[in-house]
Structure 1
Amino acid sequence: MKYIHLYALLLSFIFCSPCTAQGRIDTLKSIITHQTKDTVTSYGPNTMVRNVKEDSNGHILIAAMFTGVLRYDGKSFTNLTSKLGLHRFWNVLEDRHGNLWFSTTDSGVYCYNGKSFQHFTTSEGMASNAVICIYEDSAGIIWFGTGGGVSRYDGKSFKNYTTQEGLSNNSIHTILEDKTGKFWFGTGGDACYFDGQAFTVFRNKDGKAFYNVWSIIEDKKGNIWFGASIVEDKKGNTLVVSPGLWRYDGSAFTLVAKRGASAIIEDKKGNIWTTGSLNPNGVGTWTLSRYDQKSLYSKKPVVTEIMSIEKMLCGLTEASDGSIWFGSMNGVYHYDGKTITDFKK
C-alpha cells in the first residue's frame, strides 16, 4: 500500500471539407483549410507523447503535447496540425471513413479529412473542451471521454452523459465497447459500464471500487483487462492505494500483477503489453512490460521488462509489422523485438 500519486496530480494539472462520424458534411464549425504546407522533419517530437496509433495506410500517428499530431511514414515525420497552433494534443483516432480525429485538453476536438479541419467544442455541444480519449463504436458512433463527462456524437449532434445521468465520475480516461455491446468507462474516480439503460460501478470481491482507471481492453477471449488502484484507507485528504493490473472474466476479478498499468494492449500473439510505474506514486521507474500469453492464467504470469526509464511512459500500440510503438514524457519509441529506437534529435 502506498500513498496516492504525485503522478495523478501532474495529470490533473495537464488535464486541467468538414468531416463527421458518419462521413457526412453538416453545418457545424469548419474552420481551417490547407493554405500552408505541413511541417516535415526527420526527427520525432521531444515533448510528451500521450498516445500512438497506426492508420489504415500503415503510418504511425503520434499525439504529442504542445507539438501536434505527427504522421510517420517510415522516413519522416509530418506535423498534421502545425496550422492549428500550440495545444495540448492528447489522443488521435482514424474512423472507418478515413477521417482523423485529434483531441486536446484545452481546445476540444479537431476532425481532419485530409483537406480541412472541423472544430468541436462546448459551443457545438460537447461536455467539456478537455478531451482525453476518442472511441468509435461498432455502429460508427464517435465517443469522447472528457473532463466533464462522456460525449456521444452521431454525425449531427452530441448527447452527453454525466453524473446527472448516472455516470459514476465525470473525469473520463478511457472508453471500450465489449463484444456484448456494453460500454466500459475508466475514470479518475472508479470504473463503470453502461448497458444502454443504467451505469454500474464494478467492484472487486471485497466490494471495493477500482480507482483511477486509465486503460481498459478486451482480449480475444472476451476478458476485460484494466489498470487500476484499490483504495485501502484514507488519512485526512490522503488516500492509501494499492495499484495493479486486473483481469475480469465476467464473474470474478483477478489481480494479475501488483504494478501500475496506465496503458494496455494485446498483441497478435495474445501477449499483454503495458506501460506503467513500479511505484504507486508515479515517481521513479516506469517500464514497458510484456506478459507472456502462455502463462497469463497461471498464478505467477511471466513478465518481461522490455525497457525501464526514470520518466513517465504513456500510450502504446502494435503496428501491422508486429513492432511496438510507445510514448514517453519526452518523445516516442519503437521496439522491433530486438532494438529500441528513440527518434529525438
Structure 2
Amino acid sequence: MMKYVPVYALLLIVFYTTCKGQPKTNLPIDLIKSQPKEAITSSGPAQITRTIRQDRKGNIWMAAFDGVFRYDGTSFTNMTRNVSSARFFSALEDRKGNLWFGSIGSGVYYYDGKSFRNFTTRDGLLNNEIVCIYEDKIGNIWFGANGGVSRYDGKSFRNFLLKEDSMADDRTGKTFPDFTRPPHEVNSIIEDKTGRFWFGTRDNAYTYDGNTFTVLTHQGQPFINVRTIIEDRKGTIWLGGTNGLWRYDGRTFTNLTQHFVGYIYEDKKGNLWTSSETNWGWALSRFDATTLSNKTPTVTELNPREGRMIFGILEDDKGNIWFGADGVYRYDGKTVTDFKK
C-alpha cells in the first residue's frame, strides 16, 4: 500500500469529457496567414486541453480542441482561430524557438512567430492525426501519429509503421488512414541519456536503438497502452498507462500504482506529478522527490471533487502547476484558477 499525506481540497472542477506517395525532399511551402490580434480573449480554452507548454519567452501555450491558445500572463489569444478548425492535441517549442502543433485530422502546424505552415500526408507525414511531438538530441522532430511515427530532419519525413506486434522502418511512402483512432496511437516519445528511444503506444511499448525496435516487457508480459514515458533528472525511466505507474532504474521494473495513469511530469524540485484514476474518480497527484526510490513513495493527492479525466501537466517559471481538462487550470499551491471564466 502507498503512503499518503493529507489531501488538499481543490476548487470544484467539472470536467465535461467529450472525450501518397513517396516522401519528398522539396516540401511545398503551405503558408497560412495568422491573425492573432483578432482572437484576443479574456478566457482560455473552453474544451478539452491536451497539452500545455511554456516557451522561452514565458508564454504559456495550450493545445486544445477549440484551438491553440497563447497566454502572455495577462490575456489569452486563440492563435489558430483563423487558421484551422481542427482539434489540437500536442505542442512543442524546438531548440530554435519555433513552435509545432499536432492536430487530429489536419496534420502538423509549424509556427515561426509570424505565420503558420501546414504539413500533412501529402508532404510525407505518416498520418494526419498527431498525438505527441518530440525533439531529439540532434534536432530531429518526431511525431507520434495514429499508426506509427514520423521523423522530420528539416527536409523530409522518415516513417516507422506499427505492424501487429512490432514497429518497423517504412521507406515506401505508405500513409496510415485518417480517423481510425484509437487503437494505434503513439502517445509518447523520449530519447534517454544513452541515446535509446522509448515509444509508448496504445498497442505495445517499444525501445529503439537506431536499428531495431524491441517490445518492452516485464516478466514476459508487454506493457500495453502506455500513455506517458519520461526520464527524470537522475536517469530513471517512468511509464504510465493502463497498468499504472512504473519505475525503471536501468535493471528492474517496479510497479508503484495499479490505477490508470495518463500523464507524468517532473517539476523543478524533482517531484513527480501524475494524472490518474482513483477509486472515486481522477486525481492530480504529487510524488515527493525524496521518496521516489522507495517501495512506498509519499503521495499527495489533489482532488477535484467531481473531476473526470485530467490531461497535460506543466510547471511554469513561477512554480505554478497548470493542467488541462475541460479547459485549462492553474494550481498555485493553495487554490485552483479556472480560466474558462
* Structure 2 match to 1:343: 339
Note the C-alpha offset of 1:116: 1.4
In the alignment, what sits opposite 1:318? Answer: 315
For residues 252-274 of structure 1, what are the alpha-carbon distances to aligned partners after superposition, in whole Å with 9 as ceiling and x for unaligned?
10011222221101111111100
2:295, 2:220 → 1: CA distance? 22
Corresponding residue of 2:175:
none
Counterpart contact for 1:274–1:289, Cα < 8 Å: yes
Q: Deviations over 1:151-192 (max 9, x none)?
A: 000010000011359418952111001011111000001211
TM superposition shift of 1:310? 2.9
Partners of 1:36 and 1:344 in 2: how far apart? Answer: 19
Match of 1:21 in 2: none
User: Residue 123 of structure 1: SS of its match in structure 2?
Assistant: helix
Do 2:34 and 2:80's aligned partners in 1 also have CA atoms closer than 8 Å? no
Structure 1 partner of 2:13: none
Partner SS state of residue 340, structure 2: coil
Gapped runs of 5+ residues in structure 1? 1-10, 15-25, 230-242
When the two structures are aligned, how many residues end up with a matched partner? 305
Query: Could you say what secondary structure the match of 1:37 adopts?
Result: helix
Task: Structure 2 unaligned segments of length 5 or more: list them.
Answer: 1-16, 20-25, 169-182
Structure 1: how far apart are the matches of 2:119 and 2:140?
A: 15
Please name the residue that 1:227 is paired with: 240
**Partner Cα distance (1:254, 1:322) in 2:** 29
Quote the residue 1:196 is aligned against.
Answer: 210
Between the aligned partners of 1:87 and 1:156, the Cα distance in structure 2 is 25
Compared with structure 1, are the counterparts of its residues 277 and 77 closer, same or farther at alpha carbon in structure 2 (3 Å cutoff)? Answer: same
User: Once the 2 structures are TM-superposed, how far is the Cα of residue 36 of structure 1 from its aligned partner?
Assistant: 6.9
CA contact (8 A) 2:36 2:79 kept: no
| Alignment partner of 1:307 is 2:303 | yes
Cα displacement (A) at 1:128:
0.4
Q: How far, CA to CA, are the matches of 2:142 and 2:27 in structure 1?
A: 20
Q: Does 1:182 align with 2:178?
A: no
Give me the whole-angstrom Cα distance separating, in 1, the residues matched to 2:36 and 2:297. 51
Q: 1:287 is matched with which residue?
A: 283
Structure 1 residue 141 displacement after superposition = 0.7
Query: Paired residue for 1:91?
Result: 90
- Measured in 2, the distance between the counterparts of 1:318 and 1:256 equals 23
Please list the CA deviations of residues 78-135 of structure 1 after superposition, one character each: whole Å capped at 9, or x if unmatched: 1111112311111111111111111101110010112111111100001100100011
Cα contact 1:286–1:313 (8 A) shared by 2: yes
What code does the residue aligned with 1:296 have?
L
- Tell me which amino acid in the other structure corresponds to 2:207: Y
CA contact (8 A) 2:199 2:207 kept: yes
Q: Tell me the residue number matched to 1:276.
A: 276
In structure 2, the residue matched to 1:236 is: none
Q: CA RMSD in A?
A: 2.1
Amino acid paired to 1:273 = W
Query: Which residue of 2 is the match for residue 55 of structure 1?
Result: 55
Q: 1:331 aligns with which of 323, 327, 333?
A: 327
Larger mean CA deviation between 167-176 and 249-258 belongs to 167-176
TM-score scaled by length of structure 2:
0.85
What is residue 220 of structure 2 aligned with on the other side? 207
Tell me if the contact between 2:132 and 2:145 (Cα under 8 Å) persists in the aligned partners. yes
Contact 2:100 2:110 in 1 (8 A): yes
Taking the TM superposition and a 5 Å limit, the aligned residue runs for 1:38-187 are: 38-65=38-65, 67-163=66-162, 166-167=166-167, 170-187=184-201
Report the identity percentage: 50
Give the AA of the match of 1:324.
I
2:231 aligned partner: 218
8 Å Cα contact 1:38-1:81 kept in structure 2: no
Secondary structure at 1:97's aligned position in 2?
coil
Q: CA deviation at 1:249?
A: 0.8
Task: Tell me if the contact between 1:28 and 1:118 (Cα under 8 Å) persists in the aligned partners.
Answer: no
Q: 4+ runs of 1 displaced by more than 4 Å? A: none
**Which residue is equivalent to 2:30?**
30
Contact 1:150 1:170 in 2 (8 A): no
- In structure 1, the residue corresponding to 2:58 is in which secondary structure? coil
What SS is found at the alignment partner of 1:96? coil
